Amino acid sequence: MKLRILLVNPWIYDVAAANLWSRPLGLLKVAECLSVYDVELSLIDCTDSFRGVGWGRGKYPKHPVAKPDCLKPIPRTFGRYGIAVDAFRKGLREKGPFDLVFITSLMSYWYPGIQAAIGIIREEYGNIPVVLGGIYATLWERHASENSGADFIYKGPAGEEIKFIFNTFGYRLKEIRGPVPYRRLGLYTDYPFAPLLTGTGCPFSCAYCASSVLQKKFARRETSEVVQEIRELYDSGVKDFAFYDDALLFDSERHIKPILKEIVGAGLVARFHCPNGLHARFVDDDLAGLMKASGFKTIRLGLETVNPERQKQSGGKITSGDLEHAVQVLKRRGFAKEEVGVYLMYGLPGQGLGEVKEGIHFLESLGVRIHLTEFSPIPGTEYWRVLEEKGIVGEYTDPLLTNNSVFSYLFSGYDPREIERLKLGVKQYNIT
């Protein structure tokens, strides 16, 4: 009899959440790794419920839940985002029983979603082995092993090492074929959009970013493989694609440009979105033209700050001049303000609000959308160490406090009313 494996993407627990073409790509990679064995795979994605707001984006249903004590000072409603608890239970009963469960984790501060999912799995199936992987499991291994309820914490990216998990639980499995792409495994029935990952990791190492902590190596897929994936999904009806790479534009001559040339050459009429910040430094006229011709609709560039000293000290990925040049070429190639947005951070260690306001004025002068993002500290990064030295974070910090909305409210030192005024000003600017 085949080993029956359940894959679970748990709920989001937060004060705000929206679906920007998101799917649990790490968990789907696990499915691909498991597909080489003679196993039966099922998936329950607790976030697979949203009301579409256009081009594949969506709003999750929110179910208010009691706020954990450490979040009591935050004047926002805490909630569970995604499917109803009853729907999860029903899915477990209909798809089960199972021999093994793999559950993933994305944002570390969403761990109550993991606890809730594992708790219900235990109610339904008792002591079934549960393996937890993903971002929270990798960055907060000790916290995860003490608090998640999982039996096994898997650190790092999904790969062949997954077979050791079988040994741990006493299963001996034989490989029967090569890995099957997740889109052919029938895990999702509905494809309103498709996230894409053409590579993992990043050649930069920014002081606030977890990329190099989570992925030690920068690696890329063959361009032909990426194009085949896009064509196959397109032929099955997908029209909205979202690139989730950390460094999509790096070495563009050998990577993204060939991919886009093939898309344009094949005459695909699709929309492409980049919810992760792109490297503005690598946007040249040729690339901007290809992005326009292939159907890019959502471009997000990462600036984070206009302070030249901080730009340099935090990793040197960009200067304000790089951004200005990128915006000029994108506009010359026909992109409008609504299509080009720039991420600007606030709450970075030692960052005053004056710097944030300067950044807003700079972006307004360029005529791009502004996306204000709150800094969130991540273990293993340079800025975590800075905050650790100041005694603000440490080994026993509750990951809930690293939630971007929560951390900036509690620790940035800004007047919350002033932040609200800034956000409102940006919102009004973005819609004019």
CB-wise, 234 or 343, nearer to ligand SF4? Answer: 343
Q: Smallest gap, in angstroms, from Cβ of residue 207 to ligand SF4?
A: 9
Is 246 a residue that touches ligand SF4 (CB under 6 A)?
yes
CB-wise, 49 or 276, nearer to ligand SF4? Answer: 276
- φ/ψ of 341, rounded to 5, equals -120, 155
CB-wise, 13 or 282, nearer to ligand SF4? Answer: 282
Q: Smallest gap, in angstroms, from Cβ of residue 206 to ligand SF4?
A: 3
In DSSP terms, which residues pair with 374 in a beta bridge? Answer: 346
Q: Smallest gap, in angstroms, from Cβ of residue 313 to ligand SF4?
A: 13
Show contacts with ligand SF4 in window 198-227 (CB under 6 A). Answer: 202, 204-206, 209, 211
Q: Smallest gap, in angstroms, from Cβ of residue 305 to ligand SF4?
A: 12
Per-residue mark of binding to ligand SF4, 152-191 (x: CB under 6 A): ----------------------------------------
Sign, CA torsion 214/11/182/339:
negative
The beta-strand segments (E) located in 246-382 are: 271-273, 296-304, 340-346, 369-374
Per-residue mark of binding to ligand SF4, 100-139 (x: CB under 6 A): ----------------------------------------
194 contacts: CB under 8 Å, gap ≥ 6 = 21, 23, 183, 233, 238, 240, 241, 242
CB-wise, 39 or 206, nearer to ligand SF4? Answer: 206
H-run or E-run covering 165: helix 163-168
Are the C-beta atoms of residues 219 and 201 closer than 8 Å to each other? yes
Total of chain residues touching ligand SF4, rule CB under 6 A = 11
In DSSP terms, which residues pair with 101 in a beta bridge? Answer: 6, 130
Place of tokens 């477990």: 92
Show contacts with ligand SF4 in window 299-328 (CB under 6 A). Answer: 302, 315, 317
Q: What distance in Å separates the CA atoms of residue 327 and residue 236, rounded to the nearest whole number?
A: 34
Q: What distance in Å separates the CA atoms of residue 215 and residue 157, rounded to the nearest whole number?
A: 7
CB-wise, 317 or 369, nearer to ligand SF4? Answer: 317
CB-wise, 205 or 430, nearer to ligand SF4? Answer: 205
Q: Smallest gap, in angstroms, from Cβ of residue 107 to ligand SF4?
A: 15
CB-wise, 205 or 405, nearer to ligand SF4? Answer: 205
Q: Smallest gap, in angstroms, from Cβ of residue 318 to ligand SF4?
A: 8
Tell me how crowded residue 288 is: count the other CB atoms within 10 A of its CB. 22
Q: Smallest gap, in angstroms, from Cβ of residue 114 to ligand SF4?
A: 24
Q: Smallest gap, in angstroms, from Cβ of residue 156 to ligand SF4?
A: 17
Q: Smallest gap, in angstroms, from Cβ of residue 194 to ligand SF4?
A: 21
How long, in residues, is the chain? 432
Are the C-beta atoms of residues 12 and 110 closer than 8 Å to each other? yes
By CB under 6 A, which span of 60-68, 94-102, 187-195, 197-205 interacts with ligand SF4?
197-205
Are the C-beta atoms of residues 48 and 61 closer than 8 Å to each other? no
Tell me how crowded residue 164 is: count the other CB atoms within 10 A of its CB. 10
125 contacts: CB under 8 Å, gap ≥ 6 = 92, 96, 97, 98
Tell me how crowded residue 130 is: count the other CB atoms within 10 A of its CB. 23
The footprint of ligand SF4 (CB under 6 A) covers 202, 204-206, 209, 211, 246-247, 302, 315, 317
